[in-house]
Amino acid sequence: MEALVNGISLAYDDQGSGPPLILIHGFPLQRKMWHPQIQAVTGAGFRLVTPDLRGFGESDAPDGPYSMEIFADDIVALMDHLSIGQAVIGGMSMGGYVLMNLLERYPERVAGACFIVTRAPADDEAGKARRLHLAQEVMKFGPQLVADAFVEVLFAEQNLTERPKLVEEVYGWMSATDSRGLAGGLLAMRERTDYGALLDRFRVPALAIGAEDDRAIPAEFSRAIAAGVPGCRLCIVPEAGHLANLEHPGAFNDCLLEFLTSLGSW
């Protein structure tokens, strides 16, 4: 499905019925990453909406600029398009940065927050320099540059060899992404707000999901979010890396559904 929002076409899937859950993918991914969650979430009586952020998947990839504010505005516009007043929103990695922006600027639209393998602090200066360099390089040499750089850190080390079909599938998503979207996402992450000292402002039911073998954003960052957001629950997925929902979907879905069912209706 597609929605015209903020001057672009935003691709999304909308499945099931009941209280709505929106899951926002990470960088450099797309909404297909959530396919192991569809049956579990909709089968438990929830509506699942999974968008492709601008620049990713099947959504338009304008020249830019890109920012967490623009990504967040697109999500709210999609909610308006779908007549969703409030939703539980989950954000994975970069999607978590979008979620934090939503919580800051649109708290009334968030019924609950699920921080998935993400972190609150912004990049340090070295990290910002790496983002800028990679953004410049991907515009010169294409998306395979990003796919090659990220595939090694997205999975737990054992899954790189034990799950070759999954690795190949994810690599295909990344290498098919428009270079403008990749560069825009990198620059948006580079300039994102530092929420490290601001987590206590997020006053919604919350869950932080980390992964035991995450080499991109170690589980300590999820523990820090759980400690910083008042009342936030914590769940660490075993035997999984940064793509915990794909690598160990059973354990991930258990964490997510326990949280959703605890909220009742919204």
Burial classification of residue 197, based on how many CB atoms lie within 10 Å of its CB (0-12 exposed, 13-18 middle, 19 or more buried) = exposed
**How far from 29 is each of 52, 63, 134, 255, CA to CA, in Å?**
9, 18, 16, 22
Residue 155 lies in a domain: no
Residue 180 lies in a domain: no
The whole-angstrom separation of Cα 96 and Cα 108 is 17
Residue 171 lies in a domain: no
User: How many domains are contained in the chain?
Assistant: 1
Residue 169 lies in a domain: no
Q: Which domain holds residue 103?
A: 2-122+193-263
Residue 153 lies in a domain: no
Residue 166 lies in a domain: no
**Is residue 234 within a helix (H) or strand (E), and if so which, with residue range?**
strand 233-237
Q: Which two tokens stand for residue 219?
A: 């589980």
Q: What is the pLDDT of residue 41?
A: 98
- pLDDT per residue, tens digit, the chain (266 aa), is 999 999 999 999 999 999 999 999 999 999 999 999 999 999 999 999 999 999 999 999 999 899 999 999 999 999 999 999 999 999 999 999 999 999 999 999 999 999 999 999 999 999 999 999 999 999 999 999 999 999 989 999 999 999 999 999 999 999 999 999 999 999 999 999 999 999 999 999 999 999 999 999 999 999 999 999 999 999 999 999 999 999 999 999 999 999 999 998 89
Residue 182 lies in a domain: no
Q: What is the pLDDT of residue 64?
A: 87
The whole-angstrom separation of Cα 169 and Cα 175 is 10
Per-residue buried b or exposed e for 52-81, using 16+ beta carbons within 10 Å of the residue's own CB: bbbbbbbbbbbebebbbbbbbbbbbbbbee
Q: What is the pLDDT of residue 181?
A: 98
Residues paired with 235 in a beta bridge: 209
Q: What is the CATH number of the domain that holds 64?
A: 3.40.50.1820
Residue 62 lies in a domain: yes
Q: If you write DSSP's letter for every residue of 3-47 in order, what string do you get? A: EEETTEEEEEEEE--SSEEEEE--TT--GGGGHHHHHHHHHTT-E
